[in-house]
Structure 1
Amino acid sequence: MDKKWLARKSSREIVETVASDDRYEYDFHDLDRVQRRLKQRHVQMIAIAGTIGTGLFLGSGNALQVAGPLGALIAYALVATVAYATLCGIAEMTTWAPISGTFPHYASRWVDPALGFAVGWNYFFANVTAVPVEINAAVILMTFWDKDTSHAAIYTAIIAISVCAINIFGVRYFGESEFFFSITKLLLIIILLISGLVLDLGGGPNHEVIGFKFWKHPGAVNRAHLVELADADRFLAILSVIIQAAFSFQGMELVCIAASETENPRRNITKAVRRVFYRVVLFYMLGILMIGMLVSYDNPALLSRVGTAAESPFVIAMSSAGVKAFSHIVNAVILTSAFSAASSYLFCSSRVLYGLAIRGQAPKIFAYTTKKGLPIAAVLTASAFALLSFMNVSAGAETVFAWFVNMVTTGELLGWFTINLTYVFFHRGMKAQGYQLTKNVYNNPLQPYLAYWGMGWTIFFILLSGYAVFFKFQTSSFLTAYINIPIFAALYFGYKFMYKTWVWKPLEMDFVTGIPTVEETELPEDPPITVLEKVANVLF
């Protein structure tokens, strides 16, 4: 097999590396034609948008009802550490190589081309399937104001067209929409946290001091009602919430997927990642803690399952305190969250498909871009999946649609696992070739231990995703929970068998070809002058 040798002189020695064979050519300057149109404020808000959404506003209510206040807090805290570890890994690789294709390409480049192919198509499917799921969630939220179910098809069409249009108009429009939605969500969660604290301390209309009374009665951890042993049953309840929490945190990696279309990507992504940890702690952890203080896990309203603000624990708390109008504001913001999530998933799926195409792992037609750098073929293909949202209008298709919902989380977790695995290889290859990791624009001193932590837990989460089915077996539930695993394996081994790929050794990894230098991507930063510019610099 022909091999192209790349010599590089390091501070320690001259190291010869196998860049690639001819089938894995990495110099794609002439093919990658997307343009850097996302600004710093867009990137910062996209990072927030990936952590605050329906998972916090609505999903937290289900978590509270299933596991209780302490159980939900433990589950969300654990998943938060895994999400953060994953984000740190992809951020370090992205700031080294801010190019299209993101982590599926990194997996191909530094682990095994077959792994990049498998995770790329798996991640594309998971994200493109999530688009109709979120559109449908937005339609359900509309029923909070309009109870006429015959209007569902109209709302579905309006929301689906709007989501697709934002992405078809270009990345700048996507960035502006995410900026607006993120600001809205930020304002709401700040208002909710402050209002919740006031209510808890007795500042509501009835002046009742709540404190932590619901942690004592009915209790801090609920039971799953799967086994008779109380402590074991409570542990199973916490496990049940972990998958819900994992779904809530998915999407944090979007900020890195958009790197090839971001101005000054190395600097801006570094800022976003360094700040996102504090935002997760401040908004998510305090949010989960707050609802556990305000609402008991046996509150009947948590069982409503209407999919609107009526089941939000924040709204339940406000309504119990006599603040009735608050639900309309919360529902409106949750609606924008669902719309934002659908738009983000469409963006992710189209960029992953584009990255696969320019590297020969998807049909070349998907690599076509407009003069403004929009991968229009990939965007239109991903947009077509939005039509699946009409399945929920038909009663007969609801079951299949529910399967899609369950399959999304496992597909995303496989992506998290691959990111952490790829980072372990990246870290090992960089050290073997004499690179100093601390000199990268972004480097976390806890690596590679963060990656090991993320890799271990994501395997556990994937295996855990359908554990409840073993207590009351249902074939459909088992398949939707675990079908992604054999599909992923079939993609990996099928590609490996067809193209005879191998796992790259540390000295064979290419860290140079086709990767723009810092001088090529980063412009000098203009220091803030006015008061507004200084405030914006702190916030964004």
Structure 2
Amino acid sequence: MDTKEKRDSSSIEEGIAESRVVQTNPQYHFEVHDLDRVQRRLKQRHVQMIAIAGTIGTGLFLGSGQALNSAGPLGALIAYALVGTVAYSSLCAVGEMTTWAPISGTFPHFAARWVDPALGFAVGWNYFYTNAISTPVEVTAAVILLTFWDSDTNHAAIYTAVICVLISLINIFGVRYFGESEFFFSIIKITLIVGLLLAGLVIDLGGGPNHDRIGFRYWKNPGAVAPLGLEPNHISLDRFLAILSVLVQAAFSFQGMELVVIAASETENPRRNIAKAVRRVFYRILVFYILGILMIGMLVAYNDPDLLRTTGTAAQSPFVIAINRAGIKVLPHIINGAIFTSAFSAGNSFLFCASRVLYGLALRGQAPRYLTYCTKNGLPLYAVLTASAFSFLSFMGVSEGSNTVFNWFVNLSTTGGFTSWFVMNVTYIFFRRGLLAQGYDPKKNSYNNNWQPYVAYWGAGWTLFFILINGFTVFWDFNAAGFLTAYINIPIFLVLYFGYKIVKRTKMWKPMEMDFVTGIPTPEETELPEEPPRNIGEKIAAVVF
């Protein structure tokens, strides 16, 4: 690998190091200024709201009921808390790398730049198809939610077409329209979650029309942890397996949390705004996910027959079940409408992620060159159109004969997310090692987690564990389709990695070969001076956004 070392008093952060390594081999595509034409149009309020609620979809509102039914209130809480720490560790890792290098391509490029070009190629395409497949999953969920009001199955194809076109148009209009739409949808989601938590607390304390004080009744009877049924003669083991079974379900709820860093190259003041957004995600996990799971475990028993209904609408939400039991009739319709916007928003976000990662791969020569085309407004049009085409796979959900294949897509997207999280943490470990070897101080970066690199070790270890055990239940009642769905992503990823490595003859970067400078804008180029709030309205906005 061709490298050149320069000694200079200036670096990506002034005063961090006196020497820097620059890769001079053009095959690695580190300098892409002539091709990268996206524009920084996402404002601070867009970034903060996307970070707080951007990819919250049906996984939290509807999937949490399945988690409660499978593992019980304590089991679901443990599973969501564990996956939450892993998701947060992955976001901390990629957040720190992104504030160092807020450029197109995000973590697949970081993997190629600081670990191995073959790893960047493999995880880039893995992340692309994971998000591309997640888009039709959310479109289908949105269509099913509409059956809450319109049960005529003949209308499903029409609803699917309309939603696909709307999601595609929002992304085609450009990142500013995407930012405004996600800002609006995020407000709805936050309002819904806060409202459900407050309503749930009132119902639990006996404030509903039936004045039934629930408390922690269901933690005692039928119990805190549900048995899975795989090992009925070993009840403790069976309950442990129940918790493991919920991990993949929980992961689907957290998937896409890294959206805020994917948009770094199109964000105003990316280092400051992304650093602030990553810090706030911890509270999002604590309030929205952990308190949400705790609340539904208090409101509904894990063996409630209504939890077994897979309607796909608000009717299967634990919150709606509790609200109906309390005698409140109007809220379910409002909740279903809000969950619909969440599904639409999540599909919108997954499409954005897929298009931007595909664009980043093209910039680095790891995808067809025509995908680098941008309009004069900075829209990677061909990448967006390519990603948009996948949304029409949602028509498979309309046909009963295609449901099996479509369910494979659902599981593949979730397990592919584990692989992406694993690579984020591994890449950070290499990134930090290279920084220290070349004399940079990670603490002088715009964002730095004081617990690193241990947070990255935690995330890498657990995601590898999740990848290996996510389909463990198939071994109790083996079937080829279930095994394939759970583990097909592993050979796909390995074929991508070793295929590129063999063809391109790539090697892993040594710490003193890593390039932390080429093609990376300095803080002076990306950050504008922060203006202090001038009135009470701006002070409130500064706290919220």
TM-score (norm 2): 0.97
Change (3 A) 1:20 1:77: farther
The one of 91, 94, 97 aligned to 1:90: 94
Q: Aligned pair 1:262/2:267, yes or no? A: yes
Q: Does 1:108 align with 2:107?
A: no
Hey, what does 1:429 align to over in structure 2?
A: 434
Distance in structure 2 (CA, Å) of the matches to 1:458 and 1:9: 39
The alignment partner of 2:149 has SS state of coil
1:345 corresponding residue in structure 2 = 350
Listed one character per residue, the Cα deviations across residues 97-141 of structure 1 (whole Å, up to 9, x for unaligned) are 000000000000000000000000111011101111110010000
1:241 maps to which of 240, 246, 249: 246
SS at match of 1:387: helix
SS in 2 for 1:120: helix
Match of 2:386 among 381, 388, 393: 381
Look up the SS of the partner of 2:23 in the other structure: strand
Aligned residue identity for 1:395: E
> Superposition pairs for residues 285-296 of structure 1, below 5 Å?
285-296=290-301
Asked if the contact 2:39/2:266 (under 8 Å) is kept, the reply is yes
Offset from partner CA, 1:410-443 (integer Å, 9 cap, x none): 1111100000000000000000000011100000
Residue aligning to 2:5: 6
The corresponding residue for 2:406 is 401
Whole-angstrom distance in 2 between the partners of 1:9 and 1:372:
36
1:457 aligns with 2:462: yes
Deviation by residue 1:201-245 (Cα, 9 ceiling, x = unmatched): 111111111110100000000000001200000000000111101
How far apart are residue 16 of structure 1 and its match?
Answer: 6.3
Instruction: Give yes or no for the alignment of 1:76 onto 2:75.
Output: no
**Cα deviation, residue 14, structure 1:** 5.7
| Matching of residue 318 in structure 1 with residue 323 in structure 2 | yes
CA distance in 1, matches of 2:316, 2:392: 27
Structure 2 equivalent of residue 334 of structure 1? 339
Change (3 A) 1:527 1:233: same
Give 1:98's aligned amino acid: P
Tell me the amino acid that sits aligned with residue 99 of structure 1: I
User: How far apart are the structure 1 equivalents of 2:17 and 2:384?
Assistant: 45
Aligned residue type for 2:74 = L
Per the alignment, residue 494 of structure 1 pairs with: 499
1:369 aligns with 2:383: no
* 1:194/1:529 CA distance change after superposition, 3 Å: same
Per the TM alignment, residue 399 of structure 1 is displaced from its structure 2 partner at its CA by 1.2
TM-score w.r.t. length of structure 1: 0.98
* Matching residue within 161, 165, 170 for 1:161: 165
**Higher alpha-carbon deviation: 451-460 or 206-215:** 206-215
Task: Give the secondary-structure state (helix, strand or coil) at the position aligned to 1:203.
Answer: coil
- Contact 1:107-1:422 at 8 Å conserved across structures: yes
Listed as ranges, the gaps of 5+ residues in structure 1 are: none
Amino acid at match of 2:7: R
SS at the partner of 1:243?
Answer: helix
Which residue of structure 2 lines up, in the alignment, with residue 446 of structure 1?
451
Deviations 1:157-201 (A, max 9, x none): 010000000000000010001000100011111111111111111
Indicate yes or no: 2:282 matched with 1:277.
Answer: yes
| Alpha-carbon distance in 2 for matches of 1:29, 1:265 | 17
Q: How does 1:294-313 map to 2 (within 5 A)?
A: 294-313=299-318
C-alpha distance in 2 between matches for 1:123 and 1:422: 15
Q: Does structure 2 retain, via aligned residues, the 8 Å contact 1:202–1:209?
A: yes
Question: Offset at 1:49?
Answer: 2.1
Matches of 1:501 and 1:369 in 2, distance apart? Answer: 29
Structure 2 gaps of 5+ residues are: 10-14
Which residues of 2 match residues 505-524 of structure 1 at below 5 A? 505-524=510-529
Matched residue SS, 1:17:
strand
Partner of 1:481: 486
Q: Does 1:356 align with 2:355?
A: no
Query: Using a 3 Å threshold, how does the CA distance of structure 1 residues 296 and 16 change in structure 2: closer, same or farther?
Result: closer
Per the TM alignment, residue 6 of structure 1 is displaced from its structure 2 partner at its CA by 2.7
Q: Give the stretch that moved more between structures: 416-425 or 387-396.
A: 387-396
Counterpart amino acid of residue 264 in structure 1:
N
**Matches for 1:142-157 after TM superposition, within 5 Å:** 142-157=146-161
- In the alignment, the residues of structure 1 paired with residue 46 and residue 248 of structure 2 have an alpha-carbon distance, to the nearest angstrom, of 29
Q: Write the mapping of 1:186-205 to structure 2, written as runs, cut at 5 A.
A: 186-205=190-209
Q: CA deviation at 1:326?
A: 1.0
Displacement after TM superposition at 1:95 (Å) = 0.2
Q: Secondary structure of 1:224's partner?
A: coil
Alpha-carbon distance in 1 for matches of 2:153, 2:202: 37
Residue 17 of structure 1, CA deviation: 3.4
The 2-side partners of 1:12 and 1:287 are apart by 43
Question: Alpha carbons of 1:317 and 1:9: their partners in 2 closer, same or farther (altered >3 Å)?
Answer: same
Match of 1:486, SS state, is: helix
State the Cα distance separating 1:407 from its structure 2 match.
Answer: 0.4
State the shift of 1:25 in Å: 3.3
* Residue of structure 2 aligned with 1:31, choices 22, 25, 35: 35
Contact conserved, 1:50 with 1:253, CA < 8 A, in 2?
no
Q: CA RMSD in A?
A: 1.2
Paired letter, 1:233: D
Kept after mapping to 2: 8 A contact 1:50/1:250: no
> Which amino acid is the alignment partner of residue 33 of structure 1?
R
Q: Distance in 2 between matches of 1:164 and 1:378?
A: 12
Distance in 2 (CA, whole Å) between partners of 1:36 and 1:288 is 37
Does 2:61 correspond to 1:57?
yes
Farther off after superposition, 324-333 or 308-317: 324-333
Deviation at 1:69, TM superposition (A): 0.3
The answer (yes or no) to whether the contact 1:52–1:284 under 8 Å persists in 2 is: no
Deviation at 1:13, TM superposition (A): 8.0
Q: Secondary structure at 1:7's aligned position in 2?
A: strand
**CA contact under 8 A between 2:170 and 2:177: conserved in structure 1?**
yes
Q: Give, in whole Å, the separation in 2 of the partners of 1:14 and 1:159.
A: 53
CA distance in 2, matches of 1:59, 1:319: 18
Encode CA deviations 1:374-431: one digit per residue, 9 max, x unaligned.
0000000011111111112122211111111110011111100000000000000000
